[in-house]
Structure 1
Amino acid sequence: MTQSNIQTDELILGTNTIIHPSAIIRGVNGNAKKIQIGDNCYIGQNVQIICDDFSIGDYSKIQHNTNVHGYLPCHIGHNAWIGQYTIIDSIGGTSIGNNCGIGAHSQIWSHIKFGDTLEGCRFLSEKPMVIGNDVWFVGHCIVSPITAQDKSMAMVGSVITKDMNYNEIYAGSPAKSISDKIGFQFNEVNLDEKIDKMKQYLIESNLNQNHIKIVADVSEIDFENNAISFFNISNRTYTKRGNEDEQNFMKFLLPAKAKFTPISI
């Protein structure tokens, strides 16, 4: 498998993935060591990914004029949405979990470097950027190297300099938690409500329901039945079969109805 605008020693490129011809994907000094892009992804116009070890999961989108760069690995999970003109720096290493959104014009930084240290500049560091699952930077956010725990959220224009706690919402410059005033990004939803909603989504999708089954937990999955895609509500995973109805259902659910990742067997 070849892709003329990707320069890498090892390429793993998923099916039904669209990469705009103007996008550039390579290593810092020539070929990357490994580039892995999942199924049903989109990488838009003038995107630059200059990283020796880069991966992004299924159903992810990187919008136009985004720049990803760095010496250390940059790994992004499934169902990512990265808005236009975003910068993701991986000089200190960057890990972004599943189901994350990075709004347009945001900047994700894993290093600080410029001032003359011989002259006494105190600011020189490279630290890992660790972003958990279901994290959302709404847009125009600037993020220093932090750990953002699962389901945390930063409102538009936030400047984040400290770690973000689980499911808390942040705003301001420097950003502070405002969850005591406005609540949390996610409310608790019981399993029965989720199942009912997913079954309704399946009806609304107008897809062949013989190929998709909504289940409450792993005990209801028939792993040997490759004709059916099982969507497990308890942990938001699905048995990835790759058939047309499954792919259309995933596209129907994304970006805001529901997010599922492939089950690990």
Structure 2
Amino acid sequence: MNNIEADHLELGKNVVIEPTARIRGISGKAKRVKIGDNCYIGDSVQIICDDFSLGDYSKIQHHTNVHGYKPCSIGHNAWIGQYTIIDSIGGTTIGNNCGIGAHSQLWSHIKYGDTLEGCNFLGESPLTVGHDVWFVGHCIVSPITAEDKSMALVGSVVTRNMKYNEIYAGSPAASLSAKIGYQFKEVTVEEKLAKMAAYVQQAGVDADLIRIVATEKDIQPDGRIYFAVKERTYTKTRHPEEVKFMKFLLPEKAKFVPVQ
């Protein structure tokens, strides 16, 4: 692809990158760009980063800007809405299954004021976002740590770390979970197995090939494609039925990542 400039490029299968998107390094070619299978990068997206990686089935919508000197890593099944800014000047890591709503801004640095004149605000620090984190939209996020399953409601200004599974709102954002609950509730393995069995039927995939099991311990070396609901993993083969089922599940029914 002529809109990617990189010394080392790993490009997955079935990737769509719109012609107006640009991926390069800070001063010319990126050192490394890795994009997983079945990803989409939309119109006028700019990724200006020397070390950038994007997991399988991730989508970056139009006019998003990703930039920074330090590595930016985004996991599997990401959904990044249009006109989002992701800054990696201080280094940014975003886990699997994360949603970043349209017009959000994620920052890993604070710079501009004249330090000779005594400005106190100058710094770079990592932005670390765990798995299943959701910034609903129009969120502004400082270089914080967002623990797994945490969530910030629309318009939140996040200046402090977000705790596991708690929901935040406001400016500055504060936890509302004591009043409104949590992003995720407990679901039993048995309930997950029943839902996934129904999804296999609804998706119209080969039920002999696609196997739903409780845990990775139940996976057999028989050439079938296994989905383990406890670990939320699957045996990646790139088979068309696997891709069809994954696309049916995403983004809101279920999210799975490859078995390591």
TM-score, normalised via structure 1 length = 0.97
Q: Does 1:194 align with 2:187?
A: no
State the number of aligned residues. 260
Report what 2:217 is aligned to. Answer: 219
Identity of aligned residues (%): 66
Q: Deviations over 1:213-260 (max 9, x none)?
A: 0001122111x323x110001100000011001000000000000000
Which aligned pairs between 1:158-169 and structure 2 lie closer than 5 A? 158-169=156-167
Q: Deviations over 1:56-77 (max 9, x none)?
A: 0000000000000000000000
Report what 1:243 is aligned to. Answer: 239
Report what 1:135 is aligned to. Answer: 133
Which aligned pairs between 1:116-135 and structure 2 lie closer than 5 A? 116-135=114-133
Unmatched runs of 5 consecutive residues or more in structure 2 = none
Unmatched runs of 5 consecutive residues or more in structure 1 = none
Q: Distance in 1 between matches of 2:44 and 2:118?
A: 38
Q: CA deviation at 1:40?
A: 0.2
TM-score, normalised via structure 2 length = 0.99
Q: CA deviation at 1:207?
A: 1.2
Q: Distance in 1 between matches of 2:197 and 2:134?
A: 26
CA RMSD of aligned residues (A): 0.5
Report what 2:251 is aligned to. Answer: 255
Q: CA deviation at 1:210?
A: 1.5
Q: Deviations over 1:73-116 (max 9, x none)?
A: 00000000000000000000000000000000000000000000
Q: Does 1:111 align with 2:109?
A: yes
Report what 1:152 is aligned to. Answer: 150
Matched letter for residue 188 of structure 1: E
Matched letter for residue 257 of structure 2: T
Q: Does 1:40 align with 2:2?
A: no
Tell me whether 19-28 or 205-214 shows the greater mean CA deviation. Answer: 205-214
The structure 1 segments of at least 4 consecutive aligned residues displaced by more than 3 Å after TM superposition are none
Q: Which secondary structure does the structure 2 equivalent of 1:140 belong to?
A: coil
Q: Distance in 2 between matches of 1:218 and 1:43?
A: 32
Q: Deviations over 1:14-44 (max 9, x none)?
A: 0000000100000000000000000000000
